[in-house]
Amino acid sequence: MNKDKVKILFATAEATPFIATGGLGEVAGSLTKSLTEMYEDDTDIRIILPLYKGITDRTNFEFVASAKIPLSWRQQYCGIFKTTVNHVTYYFLDNEYYFKRDDCYGHFDDGERFAFFSKAVLYVLSIIDFMPDVIHVNDWQTALIPVYLKSKYSTYPGYDKIKSIITIHNIEYQGIYDLKIVEDVFDLYNSEISIVEYNGSVNLLKGAIESSDIVSTVSKSYSEEIFDDYFAHGLAPILKRNSTKVKGILNGIDTTFYNPETDKSLFKNYNINNLKNKYNNKTNLQRMVGLPQNVDIPVVSIISRLVKHKGMDLVTSGIEEILREKVQFIILGKGDRSYELYFKSLQERYHDKVAARIDFSSDMARKIYAGSDFLLMPSISEPCGIAQMIASRYGTVPIVRETGGLKDSIHDCSLGSGNGFTFYEQTPEKLIDTIKRALEVYKNKDDWTKLIYSVMTEDFSWNHSAKEYHNMYINLTDK
């Protein structure tokens, strides 16, 4: 390996193709893949994550070593495994007590589990013989890495030169715990406690913001929005104090993985020059969900967690007005019980216009992306969102509220250019008006065909964003 390469360790709680519960996992896998493809001559980027029970395909895993990780009074076993996928080296840290569980998150001891992982990431660097120039951590689960790096490892040879970046994928989740457990669980003492203390509690994300060299977010607009406490969930004062560190880079998607020409989940594969097969997907989707099969009826879909900040109040307040039109709605997702029950009831009352699947399946989501005409994302807050990018890749036109990454990626086509339909005001009236505008364009087949072409040719690959990340790494390390 060229010793002048910039060495990046991407620490994350999940990553494709091994395990992903949402956008973080997809970003971790696809961003590092793109960086490696584009910059392998001067960048060596590797990923480290927990070895969860859900990572079942371990065929090519190589056992590297084991170690005892000190965490407060504990000495916990850590097995180290590695493999290579898409020319990216993945390291997995094994501890069955912490990670041999059915779900990645949602356990009573998540704080301790990810404190162990964070401490282990730094501890094993000499064992795996990879001392990075930059450790790039993601969200609260890995937020203790820059905290430990600054408080416990800053004087260790080699560690003193490591820079750190924290990417905030969703600031709502901060890792907040009772201050009484800061020593026992998080292995922080005396002056170290002040790094993570905030409003009388432990706040791990706050600690990472204070300790990291750069704080990045997953879109430019979101990096600006989080200085407003409406979006920052209490952390606006901390971000303002660290404003010179904050940078926004829009996410991308893996356009090889999301490709209507090769996607095996689709009823028929297609491309921009063969949209006939897209409409074959549409009628097959209608049949699958129990709606009348009619290629001329516009299909509007929602693929989302059914929660308030995803704009579900706007949907429930406005959808019945829209259902007076010639239209069908397909809803895929789980979330708050009240929304789940509402959409089930809506399906019963409008059985020929509404199909609600209170579930989530990646296979079903892909069928919906391919078979729909519109994807509705009326989010109140959306750090980036990738569903609008995936939909575009499949020729399905996004209808979005102008916030965060939705604002940065989708631009209203009503003025003659653009790649979707947008609105800003958080009112059912604006939602209804925007959907009706979209349905009017759908009726004009020439305009509709031009719009699909514009949507499908939009470049949502990682090419541009990976370049921004690469420049950030280079500038941070002066290499």
Question: Is the per-residue pLDDT at 224 higher than 80?
Answer: yes
144-151 vs 110-123: helix crossing angle, rounded to 10: 50
Given pLDDT bands bounded at 50, 70 and 90, which one contains residue 1?
Answer: very low
Q: What is the pLDDT of residues 187-222, one digit of tens each?
A: 999 999 999 999 999 999 999 999 999 999 999 999
Q: What are the C-alpha distances in Å from 196 to residues 4, 51, 179, 289, 470?
A: 34, 26, 9, 49, 29
Q: What is the pLDDT of residue 3?
A: 58
Q: What is the pLDDT of residue 414?
A: 83
| C-beta separation of 240 from 215 below 8 A | no
Name the amino acid, one letter, at 191: S
**What percent of the chain clears pLDDT 90, i.e. is strictly above it?**
96
Domain with CATH 3.40.50.2000 in the chain: 6-252+463-477, 276-456
Instruction: Give the bridge partners for 70, in sequence order.
Output: 75
276-456 under CATH 3.40.50.1220, yes or no? no
- Coil vs helix vs strand at 161: helix
Given pLDDT bands bounded at 50, 70 and 90, which one contains residue 301?
Answer: very high
Q: What is the pLDDT of residues 62-90, one digit of tens each?
A: 999 999 999 999 999 999 999 999 999 99
Q: Taking residues 125-136, report their average pLDDT.
A: 97
Question: Is the per-residue pLDDT at 472 higher than 70?
Answer: yes
| C-beta separation of 451 from 441 below 8 A | yes
Q: Which CATH architecture has domain 6-252+463-477?
A: 3-Layer(aba) Sandwich (3.40)
Q: What is the pLDDT of residues 348-395, one digit of tens each?
A: 999 999 999 999 999 999 999 999 999 999 999 999 999 999 999 999
Task: Record the pTM.
Answer: 0.95
Tokens found for residue 325: 């039109």
Question: Is the per-residue pLDDT at 247 higher than 50?
Answer: yes
Distance CA 371, CA 283 (A): 7
Residue 351: CB partners within 8 Å, gap ≥ 6? Answer: 290
Distance CA 16, CA 190 (A): 38
Q: What is the pLDDT of residues 390-422, one digit of tens each?
A: 999 999 999 999 999 999 999 999 877 899 999
